Amino acid sequence: MAWDKLVEHGYTSLTMEMVASAALTSRSVLARRWTSKAALVMAAIKYQLSRQPPQVSDQGDVRVELLEYLQRLGNFAPIFATVNACCRTTCFARPSLRRKRSGGR
């Protein structure tokens, strides 16, 4: 739900209430798990990345494997666009979130 609303409305317009309504729950239920919109968005991005791994299994045909790999990379376009938009916001410029994005560095 959060991912769909994020793609549809963008980070700036997204609200916890919007996600809660789409999930048929309340904002307070979301707030128990995600303390901020940024945390919810990070969880949605991580989930999308886990659903679409870029690895391709060995199929014995390099052309088929390459085409599948390129297709999978194409599936990442909305994820990359969303991450890019989120990174430009002031919320994601906070040092603690910057460390999360960079794996703690």
Domain locations in the chain as residue ranges: 2-101
- 9 vs 16: which has the higher pLDDT: 16
CATH code at 2-101: 1.10.357.10
**Percent residues over pLDDT 90 in the chain:** 32
Closest CA to 37 of 56, 68, 11: 11
Task: Tell me the C-alpha distance between 84 and 78, whole Å.
Answer: 10
How many angstroms separate the CA atoms of 91 and 16, rounded? 15
**Rounded to an integer, what distance in angstroms lies between the CA atom of residue 52 and that of residue 71?**
11
Measured on CA atoms in the order 62, 63, 64, 65, is the torsion positive or negative? positive
Confidence of residue 103 (pLDDT cuts 50, 70, 90): low
CA distance 77 to 55: 16
pLDDT at residue 72 tops 90: no
Residue-averaged pLDDT of the chain? 83
In this predicted structure, the answer to whether residue 66 has a pLDDT above a threshold of 70 is yes
